A and B are shown apart, each in its own frame.
Chain A
Amino acid sequence: MDNGMEEAGNIMSAAVQQSKAAYDIIRERFGDAVSEFDANPTMPFFEVADASKWVDIALFMRDDARLKFNYMACLSGVDYMEQEQLGIVCNLESIGGPAHRIAVKVKCSREGGSIPSVSCVWHTANWHEREAYDMYGMTFEGHPDHRRILCPEDWTGFPLRKDYQVQETYHGIKVPY
């Protein structure tokens, strides 16, 4: 077991090891609410297994003195069609704190799924979650301003879903060309 860990540690680059150290702190606090660490060399991440804990985890990540993930670089929606799931990927890092980065994935069911909103933790999430909703159709519980952002409000369907069919007409205008 120890050998295996060491070997894995040797392959990991310094940046991934920093992310692993940050992950260990989160794992210690939240246990099974977070999944195993994925040492992806280009984007190390972990998944939130229990989505209802997401806001707590986010607050802990932002405010804990050892973590200080105060900057959300990006929040992307993703369609995991094979697993019948939608999800978000958040890229977090710290400005002025420890030099580490990590990505967090949260998933929900594809039909009528919802994810707790973290726009109260990082303001960046506010518009990004609106965009994710606009493009994928998952709802964000507790979002202060849950509307479409890029598409018109009366647009039907969610364009970035893999099985999206564009509507025939929009206000009498032919849509597909």
Chain B
Amino acid sequence: MQELGKAELNSTRIIRQDDNRVVIEKDLDTEYMVLSMGPQHPSTHGVLRLECITDGEVVVEAEPYLGYLHRCFEKYCEKVDYPGIVPYTDRMDYLAGMNTEMAYCIAVEKLLDIEIPRRVEFIRVIVAELNRIASHLVAIGTYGIDLGAFTPFLFCFRDREHILNLLEWISGARMLYNYIWIGGLSYDVPADFKKRVAEFVTYFKPKTVELQKLLTENEIFVKRTRGIGLMPADVAINYGWSGPMLRGSGVDWDLRRNDPYSVYPELDFKVALPDPKFCEIGDCLARHVVRAIEMEESLKIIEQCLDRMPEVDGFNSRASIPKKIRPKAGEVYARAENPRGEVGFYIVSDGKSTKPLRCKARSSCFVNLSAMKDLSKGQLIPDLVAIIGSIDIVLGEVDR
């Protein structure tokens, strides 16, 4: 026992065995090595640099360094008028442009206090949910690559291509849409839109099951993610986590339901929560499972919207856009549920100018990533890759 007490001090590792015995490994004290991961590292999903202090293969501490993609979006906002900001919001989270545009437009519309036609609201929700699926497909596909599974990536990108084609068809761009405008849409959807989206939904439904079989039930994938990067619910809330990250920790919180906007209150969908049968609540696998379930829920939402979307003859999607967008003096904080979590805009208007006095973007993965230092403590380097992948960062949004 004395030996054990001493061993716990330092330079040793105690491995407890099942049958009440312990194995003590002595003289494990190594020199700490600083390992810089990124900014050009495939698993950092962009230009993130992690300065890892490592003890052998164990990470003592990983400090994220950001800003490689910083364009000072908020400074641009002070120079550009309200409608002109919309394209910039696309470039923040370039994997979910529609969702970010929608969050920004909701914020300005709250300041303007204007009514949006129901058809516009339904189209917005459809494109936002399509974009959510596309974004989750990238998240899941690249997560597979991070952990050595290449095939799911190809499956995901094949299906994502269908969504991008649809969105390109209605907006003219594949990723940076500038489609949702303050008070309306840049164009109404083409005539066959409903039919083709319905076709996609029918096509994609079996694919979600296929993807589950390919990845979520894959023994190797589960071994790499289950029980890794555990985050308890209360700590996740204190860190301000949102979206699939927060739900992965078992917190039943979705802005589409808890702070409803647009037509979401009319729609019937389930808030995706991890099933303790498949994963441990709060681990990397739980976050992955939440994303997988969310894609299915998004399909349900799209189906309902297609049913309920009113058909209007000679509909002008720009009719409800105010001629001059100059909100009265005030401030607003409005947000939306993005694929990566809560994206919010804090906008201050002085009532005189057509440009905001202040426009702050609350980025979801900026906040989610801030827990990296705590999550990485004591993890192995390969597990660190699994953890970063599960956060699903888009550096364009982190750095803005």
A interface vs B, CB < 8 Å? Answer: 40-43, 70-74, 76-79, 89, 91, 95-96, 99, 103, 122-124, 126-128, 135, 149-152, 159-160, 162
Contacts and interface: CB of A to CB of B under 8 A. Distances in A.
A89 B358 CA distance: 11
27 contacts: A40-B330, A42-B330, A42-B331, A43-B332, A43-B333, A70-B237, A71-B237, A72-B240, A73-B335, A73-B342, A74-B360, A78-B348, A91-B333, A91-B346, A95-B237, A95-B251, A95-B253, A96-B251, A99-B258, A122-B240, A123-B238, A123-B240, A124-B238, A127-B367, A152-B67, A159-B72, A160-B75
Contacts of B330: 40-43
Give chain B's interface residue range (CB within 8 Å of chain A).
35 or more
A151 B65 CA distance: 10
Interface in B341-396: 342, 344, 346, 348, 358, 360, 362, 366-367, 370-371
B70 interface: yes
Interface of B: 66-67, 70, 72, 74-75, 78, 110-111, 234-235, 237-240, 251, 253, 258, 330-335, 342, 344, 346, 348, 358, 360, 362, 366-367, 370-371, 399-400
Nearest to B348: A78
Contact of B238 (A96, A122, A162): A122
Nearest to B398: A150
A76 B360 CA distance: 6
A152 B334 CA distance: 30
A160 B239 contact: no
B324 to A, nearest CB: 20
A159 B111 contact: no
A74 B362 contact: yes
A44 B367 CA distance: 23
A152 B400 CA distance: 14
Contacts of B366: 127
A123 to B, nearest CB: 5
A140 to B, nearest CB: 15
A123 B344 contact: no
A38 to B, nearest CB: 10
Nearest to A152: B67
Contact of A42 (B74, B78, B110, B342): B110
A126 B63 CA distance: 13
A116 to B, nearest CB: 18
A126 B72 CA distance: 20
Nearest to A132: B360
A124 B348 contact: no
A150 B72 CA distance: 9
Given A95-B237, A150-B399, A151-B67, A73 B344 contact: yes
A113 to B, nearest CB: 17
User: Which of B66, B333, B362: most chain A CB closer than 10 A?
Assistant: B333
